[in-house]
Amino acid sequence: MNQEARPFGLEINWDKTKIQTTVDLPPADPQQILIAGNPVQLVDKFTYPGSQLDRSGGSVSEVLRRIAIARECMKSLDHNIWRASIFHSTKFRLYMVYILPVLLNGSETWPMTKVLERKIDAFDMWCQRRILRISFRDHVSNHAVRAQSGCIPVSTLVGQRRACLFT
């Protein structure tokens, strides 16, 4: 590959090059191998343009990472937006414009399971309750919160985005 790239003025950056296997390696196997005299690290997962890829091919780690990033975004807007005296409709538009894209980046390729759908919807419900200032101690059902917010479940949005790949 290095020889093919050279005529175009390109070189492989061996410091950034990683190898990810799809099989379980015994613990005695090396964590680095030499390719063309350069050490290349063997990794179980890595982040490549914004998405975390792991050797299992699953999306659990990526979904959890996205939820953590979106949660930090929600918390950063807590005092300035969510607790401000702004109409709820405006707050939910801001939620859909600023928080959901962070959460749903790359969701079209996530192999979804019921567990992941529940995690995503639980985070969505946490956000909506935070925006509406409904404490979990108030014993308001999720159905009532959705009726008040007018938002559809995020797992449904993921399904719609995935369906767009096939149309």
Between 85 and 127, name the one with better pLDDT: 127
- The stretches of 47-104 forming alpha helices (DSSP H) are 60-76, 88-94, 100-104
pLDDT score for 40 = 84
pLDDT tens for each residue of 149-165: 999 999 999 998 888 87
Length of the chain: 167
Mean pLDDT, the chain, whole residue set: 86
Which tens digit of pLDDT belongs to each residue from 90-101?
A: 999 999 999 999
How confident is the model at residue 32, as a pLDDT? 78
Predicted confidence (pLDDT) at residue 31 exceeds the cutoff of 70: yes
For the chain, helix (H) and strand (E) counts, in that order, are 7, 5
Residue 27 predicted with pLDDT over 80:
no
- Tens digits of residue pLDDT in 88-143: 999 999 999 999 999 998 888 888 889 999 999 999 999 999 999 998 899 999 99
Quote the CA–CA distance of 146 and 117 in Å, as a whole number: 16
